[in-house]
Copies of this chain bind each other. A is one copy, B any other.
Amino acid sequence: MLTSADPRTGRAWPTGIEATDAVTVATTAAAASKAFAVTRWSTRAWRAGLLDAIAVALESHREELTGVADRETGLGAARLAGEVGRSAFQFRLFADALREGSYVEATIDHAETTELGPQPEIRRMLVPIGPVAVFGSSNFPFAFSVAGGDTASALAGGNTVVLKAHGSHLETSARSFEVISDAVAGYGGPAGTIGIVYGTEAGRVLVSDPHIRAVGFTGSLTAGRALIDIINQREEPIPFYGELSSLNPLVITPAAAAARADAIADGLFGSYTLGAGQFCTKPGVAFIPVGADGDRIVAGLVERTTAANAQVLLNERIVTSFGEIRDRLIAAGAASIAVAGAVDSSGFAASPTVLAIDADAISPAVAEEAFGPLVVVARYDDLEEIYAALDAVPDSLTATIHHEPGEPIDALVRELAPHAGRIVFNGYPTGVRVSWGQHHGGTWPSTNSQHTSVGVSAIRRFLRPIAFQGAPESVLPSELREENVDGVPRRVDGRLRIG
C-alpha cells in the first residue's frame, strides 16, 4: 500500500493505492496499444471533441481536485484552482490546433518533370506513433502531471497514454485520472486510451515495455538519466522527451539596477519564492552589478527574505535535498546573506535563503540547481565576467535580462541565447504562458530534446511523417486529397496555402 502525506504537517496516511506490479503494467501498456489501433485512425474533429470533453470534465471537478491536491502538496487552493484552469485551457488549445490542422504539415508535390526527369506525385502528412508513457512531475500536480501538456499533446496527436503517477501526489493523480478516464469513456473513446501505473518500479517497467513508443518526462536530471539508461537497453529505441534541470540565470544590467532597484528586488523575491521555489523556471542565479545600485537590490532582497516565513515544500525528500544542496553551495564559496524565519518542527518546510558570491568566482559547484526557495546573487564588475561565468552554469530553460530602453544589450543576448530556450526581457521566468508560440525547453541538461510539453509544437514529438506516392484518392486521408474539404493549411508544389 502506497502512502501519501500532508506536507504542512508531515502526517502520512495509507492511500488505498497499491504499487502496480509488472504484470499489470504490461496489461496496461497492451490495452493502450489495442486502443491505439482505434485512435490512430480517428479524425482531427473527433479528437478535438475528446479534448474539449476532458477540459469540461476538469473544470467541473475543479473544486474537488483542488482539495485533494492541496492536502497532498500544500500548494494552496488558489494556485491549484488556477492550475486546473490552466490544464483545461491547454486541452482546449490543442483542440484548436486540431481543428486548424496545420500541425499535420500536409504537403503535396504533384507529379511533374524536373531537370532530374519525370517525378512521381508525393503527399505527406504527420501521423501518430503509438502509446506514450507520461511521467508526472512533483511540482505541478495538474499542469505537468496526469492532466498536463504531455497527456494533452499525446492524445491530440491520436496516440494513447499510460501515465506514471508522481509519488508525491498519488490521490491527486488517481482522481485526475478518473476524471479524464470517465470523460474519455463518456465521449466514446476506446478502453485503454488512457491508463495509469503507480510506483517507481512500475515506471521502470513501463519504459521498457515494447508497446510504449515514446516517453514524456518532467522531473530531475537524475531520474531522467535513469530512465534514459533503461531506454538504451530496449531492443527498439524510443524517444525520451525530458524536461530535467534548470538554473535560469537572470542578469540585471547597470542601467536597470540604477532605474529600478526596489522593483527588481521585489520581483526577484517573488519569483524565487513562487510556489516555494519549486518551479523549473525559478531564477537560481541573479547577476547583479557591484556598486550602490546593485547593493540596493541585494539589500531589498535580503530585507524581504529575512522578513519572510519558512515555506512548505512538496515532500520530505525535497526538504532533505534542499538542505544538502544549500550546504554544498556554501561549502563551494557562496556566503549565506539572508535566511527567512525558522522552520517549525512539523511538516516539510524550508527557509527562503539568499546566497552571495562574486561572479568571477562562479564554478560548476555553485551552479547546482537547488529545488526550493534559494537564489544565488552573483555580483559582477562588467558583463565579461557574466559571459565567463556562463561557461560554468549549465544550460537552462530560460535566461532573463533586466535592462533599460536604449541600453546596448545585443552582445548580452548573443551570449545568453545559446544557453537557454526562452529569453525573458524585463520580466521573470516563472510563469509559462500556454500559447501557440511558447517554448519550454533549452539545451542539455535543461531538456534532452528539441520539443517540450508546453506550446502547440509539443504535439510534434508524438507524430511521424508518412508519404503516399501515387496513391488513389480513396485511400488518402482527407488532409491529403486533392480537394481540400477541411480547409487545412497545406504546402502544394512548394507553396504554402492557407485553406
Which residues of A does B touch, CB under 8 Å? 40-41, 82, 85-86, 89, 96, 100, 102, 105, 107-109, 114-116, 119-120, 122-124, 127, 129, 228, 232, 236-237, 239, 405, 409-410, 413-414, 417-418, 420-427, 431, 433-439, 441, 443-445, 448-451, 455, 457, 463-472, 474-475, 489, 491, 493-494, 496-498
> Within the oligomer, what is the number of copies of this chain?
2
Q: Is the CB of B465 within 8 A of A413?
A: no
Q: Which residue of B lies closest to A407 (CB)?
A: B472
How distant is the Cα of A123 from the Cα of B232 in the complex, in angstroms? Answer: 35
Instruction: Return chain B residues, CB-CB under 8 Å to A445.
Output: 236
Among B417, B449, B464, which residue has its beta carbon within 8 angstroms of that of A443?
A: B464
How distant is the Cα of A85 from the Cα of B114 in the complex, in angstroms? Answer: 11
Q: Is the CB of B119 within 8 A of A413?
A: no
Instruction: Return chain B residues, CB-CB under 8 Å to A469.
Output: 422-425, 427, 433
Among B114, B409, B448, B496, which residue has its beta carbon within 8 angstroms of that of A475?
A: B409
Instruction: Return chain B residues, CB-CB under 8 Å to A496.
Output: 100, 102, 489, 498
Most buried by B among A424, A457, A466: A466
9 nearest interchain CB pairs? Answer: A107-B437, A439-B467, A439-B465, A422-B467, A109-B437, A109-B435, A122-B437, A124-B437, A424-B469
Question: A90 to nearest B CB, angstroms?
Answer: 10
Q: List 21 A-B contacts (CB under 8 A).
A: A116-B434, A119-B435, A120-B427, A120-B433, A122-B437, A122-B438, A124-B437, A127-B417, A228-B237, A405-B472, A409-B475, A420-B466, A421-B464, A421-B465, A422-B469, A423-B466, A424-B470, A425-B470, A436-B494, A439-B467, A496-B498
Among B89, B449, B467, B497, which residue has its beta carbon within 8 angstroms of that of A114?
A: B89
Q: Is the CB of A41 within 8 A of B414?
A: yes
Instruction: Return chain B residues, CB-CB under 8 Å to A414.
Output: 41
With known contacts A433-B109, A437-B123, A439-B124, A450–B466 Cβ distance under 8 A: no
Instruction: Return chain B residues, CB-CB under 8 Å to A410.
Output: 474-475
Question: A116 to nearest B CB, angstroms?
Answer: 6
Q: Is the CB of B116 within 8 A of A85?
A: yes
Q: Is the CB of A437 within 8 A of B41?
A: no
With known contacts A102-B496, A232-B232, A491–B122 Cβ distance under 8 A: no
How distant is the Cα of A41 from the Cα of B413 in the complex, in angstroms? Answer: 12
Q: Which residue of B lies closest to A96 (CB)?
A: B494
With known contacts A422-B469, A438-B467, A82–B450 Cβ distance under 8 A: no
Q: Is the CB of B438 within 8 A of A124?
A: yes
Among B86, B421, B471, which residue has its beta carbon within 8 angstroms of that of A466?
A: B421
Q: Is the CB of B471 within 8 A of A423?
A: yes
Instruction: Return chain B residues, CB-CB under 8 Å to A237.
Output: 228, 444, 448
Instruction: Return chain B residues, CB-CB under 8 Å to A239.
Output: 449
Q: Which residue of B lies closest to A236 (CB)?
A: B444
Q: Is the CB of B107 within 8 A of A418?
A: no
Instruction: Return chain B residues, CB-CB under 8 Å to A426.
Output: 470
How distant is the Cα of A82 from the Cα of B114 in the complex, in angstroms? Answer: 13
Instruction: Return chain B residues, CB-CB under 8 Å to A468.
Output: 422-423, 425
Q: Is the CB of A465 within 8 A of B444?
A: no
Instruction: Return chain B residues, CB-CB under 8 Å to A420.
Output: 466
Q: Is the CB of A437 within 8 A of B115?
A: no
Instruction: Return chain B residues, CB-CB under 8 Å to A127.
Output: 417
How distant is the Cα of A204 from the Cα of B497 in the complex, in angstroms? Answer: 44
Q: Which residue of B lies closest to A235 (CB)?
A: B444
How distant is the Cα of A448 from the Cα of B438 in the complex, in angstroms? Answer: 27
Q: Is the CB of B228 within 8 A of A467?
A: no
Q: Is the CB of B116 within 8 A of A89?
A: yes
With known contacts A496-B498, A498-B498, A425–B472 Cβ distance under 8 A: yes
